[in-house]
Amino acid sequence: MTMLEILQIALYLCLLLICTPLLGSFMARVYSGQRVWLTPVLAPVERLIYRAGGVAENTEMNWKGYAAALLAFNLLGFAALLLLQLVQGWLPLNPVGLSSVEPLLAEECASPASDESDRSDPSDR
């Protein structure tokens, strides 16, 4: 390891030690509901998102509500990714001119269980 690399690591660790209490106290104030310097900017946006989602700001979510929100979020993410891959050929800013993904491949890529561990061994086919 060169001296420059050691210096970079030392500088990174010093900056991390300096930022940790500052960020920690900021996060503690945010999570406890206290006013922070971003409150005037982000509070109206947060209220708008809550109102659009039909969320009551001061009520706790039970497990059924959490499960429904989780499923809805995953379904919307799946639909957005699937749609993005299906219309990829017609989207602007496509300098290589990639075509759209075939529907079955787009569905496979967009589905949450599409990692390598779920697939069988190709030699079994």
What pLDDT is attached to residue 112?
Answer: 79
What pLDDT is attached to residue 117?
Answer: 56
Angstrom distance (rounded) from CA 123 to CA 125:
5
Q: Is the pLDDT of residue 122 over 60?
A: no
Instruction: Indicate the domain borders of the chain.
Output: 1-59, 63-119
On average, the pLDDT of the chain sits at: 88
pLDDT per residue as tens digits for the range 54-113:
888 888 889 998 999 899 999 999 999 999 999 988 988 888 888 988 999 999 888 877
pTM of the full structure: 0.57
What pLDDT is attached to residue 70?
Answer: 93
